[in-house]
Amino acid sequence: MSETNMIPISEISQDIVSKIKLVLCDIDDTISTEGKILPEAYNALWKLKRAGFHVVPITGRCAGWVDHIARMWPVSGVIGENGAFYAYMDISSDHKKLKKRYYLQPDEVKEAQKKFEDIKKEVFSLFPQVKVASDQPYRQFDLAIDFCEDVPPLERKDVLKIVNIFENYGAQTKISSIHVNGWFGDYDKLTMTKIFSKEQLKIDLEKTPEKALFIGDSPNDQPMFNFFPISVGVQNINNFKDLINNFPTYVTKKPAGLGFAEIVKIIIEKTSLADP
């Protein structure tokens, strides 16, 4: 899908909506707006849950954030640190318990941490104005370099130079709206999303991708846009059109959290119309 072919989300058909059971969504600048969760966006999460949808945020954010989100938000689970693990609340017994499923083995994590120290030294020597992300102490599996969240915005060409440093060490990298994330291992958001969906929701996304709707906003969401036939970009995805090759099928009129709320309103309205 090219940028010019993105369809307004208001045009999504009732037939397509009727198949959706699972709503997958990025967090930063998709649910959040300038670092805050607006009431419209948080209410939209509750509306989805009450309407019977499984909601699964998929984020590059840290394990510490994921712990909170899985416990406190109206979600079925969370994919964290770009697919390094998933977490969910097990409610199968009287005692609710947070459970996690990791992709890497402990020795692989230790080896990655050593390489991250070398990467940081090289990045900071070239770009002393950037920092590790403020949530880095709560990360377990990746290194996040902040290029505009808590530091002055870095030029796009310099962001790409940071990506090159990661890649020179053999790391996988993704650019979000605020961070360059790097990690070691053959996992990504899409891989762990498929694993979580099959293991915990009993939905095989390889066989029935039309049962899921994915919502995102930035270049690191491209594997999801490419895989899911029902994908939506909130309006601010246009800020990254020069870095995106795989665009979503649909796009909203409003940006960030207001765009997320726009999608939810349309999906729930068309679900109600489709019900007999």
Looking at the structure of the chain, the number of domains it has is: 2
In the chain, which residues have pLDDT < 50?
276
207, 229: one domain = yes
Predicted TM-score (pTM) of this structure: 0.89
CATH (domain of 57): 3.40.50.1000
126, 237: one domain = no
Q: Say what the pLDDT of residue 91 is.
A: 86
The C-alpha atoms of residue 200 and residue 34 are separated, in whole angstroms, by: 32
121, 219: one domain = no
The C-alpha atoms of residue 171 and residue 190 are separated, in whole angstroms, by: 17
Listed residues 148, 183, 218: the one ending a domain: 183
174, 193: one domain = no
Residue 45 neighbours by CB under 8 Å, 6+ apart: 31, 55, 73, 74, 75
CB 47 within 8 A of CB 268: yes
pLDDT tens-digit map of 61-87:
999 999 999 999 999 999 999 999 999
Q: Which domain holds residue 111?
A: 106-183
Nearest Cα to Cα of residue 216 among 38, 12, 6: 6
